[in-house]
Amino acid sequence: MNAPLAMLYLISVGVLFMAALQAAMVARSTPYVRACWVFSAICLTFCCYQFCVVLQYQAVDESGAIAAHRWVNLFSLLITPLTLYLVAALDNKRRSLSAAHITCGLVAVVIVDNFVSPLGYRFAELQGVSQTTLPWGESLNIFSGPPAVVCRLMRLLTLGVLIYSLVFSVRISNLAGQLSSRLIWTAITLMFITCGLTWVSDSGLLKLPYMAGFGFMFLAGALPLLIRNDARNRKAEALRINSALEQAVKKHTLANQRFEHVLHNDPLTDLPNRAGAVSRLYGLLEHNLLNQTRLAVLMFDLDRLGVINGMRGHKAGDQLLIEVAERLQLAFRDSDLIARLDGGSFMVGASGLTEQYGVALIYDKLVEALEPPFEVADRILKITLNTGISVFPDDGQTVEDILAAAELALHDAKSSGPGHIRIFDPSLKENLQQHIDFEGALKEALEKEQFFLCYQPQVASEDGRTVCLEALIRWQHPVYGLVMPDKFIPLAESTGIITAIGAWVIDSACQQLARWHAMGFNDLKVAVNLSAQQLLVKDLEETVSNALGRACLSGRDLELEITESVLMQDPERSIERLGALRKLGVRLSIDDFGTGYSSLGYLRVLPVHAFKLDRSFVRDIGKSVKDLEICATAIGLAKNLGLEIVAEGVETKAQMQQLRELGCHLLQGYLFARPLAVEAVQPYLLASPQIGTALLKPAQALPDLMN
């Protein structure tokens, strides 16, 4: 039978099938795994498409041609979503994959319509002669007719997919090689042309066979060229990278060799640094373990190095460090380890010790070496050491354990002041762990509501009225019991959680004062202490304002107490922050007045309402003339500045009477009440005027203490 076109279609079936197999095999050895598998699926789809086209063209009757035509339609429809899946595999973006899923759903609907409709989805009806004879005599069943509505929509979708693929190809064309770009553009051009010819043939303008499969076959046949070109480029890139890596490795090796000494040695003293010391210690531990001997590690700090740097300059400090290193090298054996860890910290590792007293001998040798005065910057200096000692294998089996033990011992020695020595003991670790546990418990105390407030009254010396209650924080822990502020406030300040605790105290005190006001104690104020960190927090004013607002209080109901020494650390900044607080209407007082050596110039401009006379002056007011004069001077100063003064630590009637005669406005101390639990405040307030009248004698009228 003379059917060269049919033979050409069958040849294309074989070519496309081989292309599908090749793409599947390539998928295992290329980074584009998904793209290769999708490309293989497209090749198989076009393979089936071409075969069904042959069945349609060579069908013996019209019904057989229409049946084959439905399968031609099926495989042509599958090409559209597969093309989008190929783009999504190369693009690796969610939107491309979503578009492919949506298109697949739409095509599924069209496929159903294709097998339901009598003529498939393409044609609303067939027109013209279905048999078309080609110039060389081959007869083909080529259909034409008006397109169905579904077909029109499908053409728009196909056109959109082709345009989307074209845009994607433009975007990646700069990333591909010259050959790859040409092949891609040629294939897309052929796909556009063959799709256009298919639509022209369906309309009946020209009787042409379907050529889309041949257009794609060009790209399928070009796949080996694309893969070979990509492999060649990758190989060249790999060679370039390997060459660059080899050069980098060589440079890195040379750099390591050049700077090995610098990395493991201190540039100033030429002693091993911390890294070099750790490296040497590994060898020393193995040596002593093998010989069943001890290794003593002495870690020490030069106590006055910071002073020397500050007074004489770092050049003088460097000179001292160099001389220390030289003395240590002369005093100890070459087999011993001498290292400078950082700053003024040094370490000596002496191995081969057979007796426990050998550690004491090593320490004596260290002290003997550094005890003679040093001549630095034309000055004679004598230095002291803080030393921590650990011993292998008694205090640890590894380098890390031995170093940690020595550092822990040194930390304990430094906490005792200059010139101390500590030998590691397991209790040091336990004490440190207890400190860590205590710190952890403190950080959880606020969340677990373990804090509570006590209140100590401040009474008017005039008539014994309680005009203010100072809020004092306490911590009730299930393990540590009742913890007083002097135990946990410094730790809270060092860890930074004092701000949150202080905010809680202000808010809780304001809420409690609001409840007392509701009970009828309307003239009562509450006082809260501020720490140094709280005073410097930017949102302190907001914290105070919010606390007053939630409790429906005015600013005059709250008094904030700031320690005098805190104010004097940065007077200008303190004045600025106190001014901002005073704008809220709160009362401000200086706590522990007389202990901070305040400048009278600053006291004159501090925006405060009151001073609190420190209890250390009140304690001996009836015994010491000097303390009496200090109290009288402080009270007189407060009067001259128009301020109130509160005397703390009043414990006897004699102290109270003396302070009242000096004109002190407010009194606070155990004579009136110890810090009271919240439940005890109301009974105290109800009884306080009578108590005050019994304790106090009539005195001259004082200004309204509530203003």
- What are the tens digits of pLDDT across the range 107-145? 899 999 888 888 888 888 777 545 777 777 677 777 777
Q: Which residues contact 678 (CB under 8 A, 6 or more apart)?
A: 452, 453, 454, 455, 512
Q: What does the block give as tokens for 280?
A: 């040497």
Q: Where does residue 496 fall: left (phi above 0), alpha (psi -120 to 50 degrees), or beta otherwise?
A: left
Mean pLDDT of 161-172: 73
The answer, yes or no, to whether residue 278 has pLDDT greater than 70, is yes
> Region 586-601: what's the mean pLDDT?
69
Contacts of residue 195, Cβ cutoff 8 Å, sequence gap at least 6? 158, 159, 162, 212, 215
Comparing 169 with 100, the larger pLDDT belongs to 100
Whether the per-residue pLDDT at 184 is higher than 70: the answer is: no
For residue 301, what pLDDT is reported? 86
How much is the average pLDDT of 392-399? 86
Which residues, 6+ apart, have CB-to-CB distance to 414 below 8 Å? 301, 386, 420
The more confident residue out of 620 and 63 is 63
SS3 of residue 28 by DSSP: helix
- Calculate the CA dihedral of residues 347, 350, 356, 357 and round it to 10 degrees: -80
The pLDDT value given to residue 574: 78
Residue 415 CA neighbour count, 13 Å, CB half = 10
pLDDT of residue 171: 66
Taking a C-beta distance cutoff of 8 angstroms, is the pair 62, 130 a contact? yes
Which pLDDT value is given to residue 518? Answer: 93
274-424 has which CATH code? 3.30.70.270
- Tell me, what's the pLDDT at 463? 83
Residue among 231, 224, 403, 388 at smallest CA distance from 299: 388
Question: 346 and 300 in contact (C-beta within 8 Å)?
Answer: yes
Which of 175, 214, 208 is CA-nearest to residue 191?
A: 214
CATH number 3.20.20.450 is the correct assignment for the domain at 449-695: yes
Domain boundaries, the chain: 4-235, 274-424, 449-695
What integer is the mean pLDDT of 393-408? 86
Helix (H), strand (E) at residue 196: helix 178-203
Q: Which amino acid is at 585?
A: G
Cβ atoms within 10 Å, residue 113: 16
Q: Strand, helix or coil at 333?
A: coil
Nearest alpha-carbon partner for 351 in 422, 276, 298: 298
Least confident window among 258-272, 447-461, 536-550, 658-672: 258-272
449: left (phi over 0), alpha (psi -120 to 50) or beta: left
Higher-confidence residue of 604 and 444: namely 444
What confidence tens digit (pLDDT) does each residue in 416-442 have?
777 888 888 777 777 767 777 888 899
Closest by CA position to 150, among listed 73, 96, 212, 97: 73
Block residue for tokens 């008006």: 146
Lowest mean pLDDT among 53-57, 190-194, 268-272, 376-380: 190-194
Asked whether this chain's domains 4-235 and 274-424 adopt the same fold, the reply is no
What angle, rounded to 10 degrees, do the helices at 212-264 and 274-291 form? 70
Cβ atoms 461, 677 nearer than 8 A:
no
Percent of the chain with pLDDT strictly greater than 70: 85
The alpha helices in 292-313, defined as continuous H runs, are 305-312
Overall fold of domain 4-235: Rhopdopsin 7-helix transmembrane proteins (1.20.1070)
Confidence of residue 680 (pLDDT cuts 50, 70, 90): very high
Low-confidence winner among 31-35, 65-69, 277-281, 313-317 (lowest mean pLDDT): 31-35
7-21, 298-312, 513-527, range with greatest mean pLDDT = 513-527
Determine what percent of the chain falls in helix, strand and coil, rounding each to the nearest 5. Answer: 60, 15, 25
DSSP-based three-state secondary structure for 117: coil
Kindly state the percentage of the chain with pLDDT values over 90: 16
- pLDDT at 460 exceeding the cut of 50: yes
Q: Return d(Cα 618, Cα 372) in angstroms, integer.
A: 49
Residue 705 has pLDDT above 50, yes or no: no
pLDDT in tens, 219-251: 666 655 555 566 566 677 778 888 888 888 888
Which residue, 332, 318, 319, is CA-closest to 367? 332
Of the two residues 174 and 193, the one the predictor is more confident about is 193
pLDDT at residue number 690: 40
pLDDT average, residue stretch 379-386: 82
* pLDDT: which is higher, 379 or 45: 45
What is the tens place of the pLDDT at every residue in 622-646?
677 777 787 888 788 878 888 888 9
Determine the pLDDT at residue 513.
95
pLDDT of residue 543: 92
Q: Looking at residue 689, what is its pLDDT?
A: 59
pLDDT band at 517 (very low <50, low <70, confident <90, very high): very high
- For position 694, what pLDDT does the model report? 38
User: Mean pLDDT of all residues in the chain?
Assistant: 81
Distance CA 451, CA 545 (A): 22
User: Which pLDDT score is estimated for 602?
Assistant: 61
What is the model's pLDDT at position 219? 66
Q: How far apart are CA 608 and CA 370, in angstroms?
A: 53
Q: What is the DSSP string of 420-447?
A: -EEE--HHHHHHHHHHHHHHHHHHHHTT
Residue 453 has pLDDT above 60, yes or no: yes
